[in-house]
Structure 1
Amino acid sequence: MTLLVQDPLLSKAAEKSQDALDSLQKWFKDKHLDISAGKSTVTIFTADTKEFKYDPGLKWEGTVIPMQNRTRLLGVELDTMLRMTGHVEQVSARLAKANNILRALAGAKWGSSKETMLRTFKAIIKPLATYAGPAWHQLMSETQKTKLERQYVGGLKACCGLTKDTPNNWSTTKRGCYR
């Protein structure tokens, strides 16, 4: 369950959140459902560095819900300042592993055909790089975008038999791949 409450004042947002939790608690009890407060977390998203350590002390059935600086929502790791650092690191590491698979498939003496490699690229790398993209791509810094683009283009180079020293230019790589 995700509960999103916003207010310019943190104290007001905390009050609204607790009221919402109290209402949800009653609804869950009526439906004979239960949520574990120990497995739940509270994360505050803010651009103010003074506010992100604020603990609203929200409670579920008398148990305080712990604060966390990061949370995962539908597979996307969100941090308090919405800098996307943790998520970009995770996606980059997964892309690197996927690129290793592509390089293994592209053996010089026995490697797969370019068409097979491109299908594999589209099945493995593209979903990793673009999953929930509208939610987090716009929040990335230029450095983070470059890091992911380097991994993405690296996979495409492996598919197309381009060398590692081919410039990391998306249009150049794409042209070389679809000849």
Structure 2
Amino acid sequence: MQRLLDLLPEWLEKWKMAVNVGKTAAILTSRRRPLRQLQFRGQDIEWKTSVCYLGCHIDRSLRMIPMVNHVVNQAAAARSMLYPVLVSHLPTRTKLRVYWAYVRSRLTYAAPAWYALCSATQRRRLQVQQNRCLRLIVGASRYVRNDVIHRDTLTPTVEEFVRHLASRLFARADNGPHVHLHGIAPLHARPPEGRPLARELLQQSSSSQPVIPDTGGISD
């Protein structure tokens, strides 16, 4: 790793790119302790147990707990701010579109990249946020089941929606004009105790296709 860091300045100068070493961090995705202090251009690179890269919070265990905490907090904050809209007398289709645009988009940000790594408990936490929003939108009583609300509003579960996003993502990458993206994040054989792979979301969805919202069929 240090040898690669030593070679990096030449490449950066060639392509006129700058690096803020103060914001650069290193993470070791295992239980091993870092073997040495890495340096870039004479400055130490800090070792961290969790880093944020392109809005995704990655922890060293790759359980994505910080990421789930982040999106759940973001979605809960958006739901709180939009509460007057979600419980208003606006048409149901309008309130659903508000939820899809401002809450679900935060809940599933970059989800095809990290959702497969989430445990069942973390996935339930994400689904709970959607359940709460849908119950506000339709004004459901405590005795109405969540699956009934999803069916009547034609809203897929969070997992179904993420699988749909992953399917579209890999289809565009595999069939697009950019050859270097073909076969990105391939599905390799792994031991049962190994970490899940992103493309496994497509395997899980092969038996049942996700229900995609069709706002034209939603009654007020």
Q: 1:176 — aligned with what? A: 152
**Pick aligned residue for 2:89 from 99, 105, 111:** 111
Q: 1:157: Cα distance to partner?
A: 1.8
**Is 1:98 paired with 2:74?**
no
Structure 1: 5+ residue runs without aligned partners? 1-16
User: Over aligned residue pairs, what C-alpha RMSD do you find?
Assistant: 2.0
Contact 1:102–1:117, Cα closer than 8 Å, also in 2: no
Which has more radius of gyration? 1
**Pick aligned residue for 1:70 from 26, 50, 73:** 50
Residues 17-96 of structure 1: matches in 2 within 5 Å?
17-31=1-15, 33-46=17-30, 49=31, 51=32, 53-96=33-76
**Is 1:124 paired with 2:95?**
no
**Pick aligned residue for 1:146 from 95, 118, 124:** 124
Q: 1:35: Cα distance to partner?
A: 2.1
Q: 1:97: Cα distance to partner?
A: 1.6
CA distance in 2, matches of 1:81, 1:57: 20
Normalized against structure 2, the TM-score is what? 0.63
- Secondary structure of the residue aligned to 1:82 is coil
Pair 1:38–1:101, CA change in 2 (3 A) = closer
Q: 1:98: Cα distance to partner?
A: 2.0
CA distance in 1, matches of 2:45, 2:90: 52
Give every structure 1 segment of 4 or more consecutive aligned residues whose post-TM-superposition deviation is greater than 6 Å: none
Give the residue type in structure 2 aligned to 1:174: H
Contact 2:86–2:133, Cα closer than 8 Å, also in 1: no
CA distance in 2, matches of 1:160, 1:89: 26
CA distance in 1, matches of 2:135, 2:35: 47
Structure 2: 5+ residue runs without aligned partners? 154-217
Identity of aligned residues (%): 26
CA distance in 1, matches of 2:81, 2:43: 46
